[in-house]
Copies of this chain bind each other. A is one copy, B any other.
Amino acid sequence: MLLGLLAAGSRHGYELKRAHDERLPRARPLAFGQVYSTLGRLQRDGLVAPSGQEREGGPERTAYALTADGRAALERWLAEVEPPMPYVASTLFAKVVVALLVADADRARDYLVAQRQAHTERLRELTAVKTAPSASLDDIVAADFAIAHLDADLRWLRTTLDRVADWHREVHS
């Protein structure tokens, strides 16, 4: 991701974090410590290099630019397809499994119902975000992504509610 941002032109660390957070408004904001430690690694591996020193209206800052290797690595990454769902990695899923292991079917059901409600509420919020007049395409595309996955969770929660009794029986056999 940082490589991608640097491809658009060299930047110093603080500004990279700024650019990241702007470009992906709904992603987890980067910590400064993380930006610099990642830049350090990228530099260690020859994918970025310092490209200048600047001092305007603030303290000294070091800009970084992509190296040819960095550009090649980025192109490679962009050319490859992400493996779709190689694993089910989800806290929600794990929690439901544990609930069935640890509690009775009714308790698990209660959890599923509460989670469903929270999802429905969040869906409402995100729909409001994307329909606001001030929504940028960045906001809309990200909201759509989130909405699609909330829907997926809700669908799964629904069918799982129907199966709780059977699943609970199987888990305890």
User: A residues within 8 Å of B by Cβ?
Assistant: 1, 3-5, 7-8, 23-24, 26-28, 74, 77-79, 81-85, 87-95, 97-99, 101-103, 107, 111, 114-115, 117-119, 121-123, 126, 136-138, 141-142, 144-146, 148-153, 155-156, 159-160, 163, 166-167, 170-171
Contact = CB atoms under 8 A, between A and B. Distances in A.
Contacts of A98: 1, 3-5, 7, 74, 78
Copies per assembly: 2
Q: Per DSSP, are chain A's interface residues mostly helix, strand or loop, or mixed? A: helix
A78 B99 contact: yes
B149 A163 contact: no
B81 A1 contact: no
Most chain B CB atoms below 10 A, which of A74, A88, A170 = A88
Given A1-B94, A94-B1, A148 B141 contact: no
Given A85-B122, A148-B153, A156-B148, A94 B27 contact: yes
Given A142-B93, A153-B148, A26 B78 contact: no
B28 A115 contact: no
Contacts of A136: 170
A93 B145 contact: yes
A151 B151 CA distance: 10
A52 to B, nearest CB: 21
Contacts of A118: 81-84
B78 A153 contact: no
B84 A119 contact: yes
Contact of A89 (B27, B84, B166): B27
Contacts of A153: 84, 148
A149 B146 contact: no
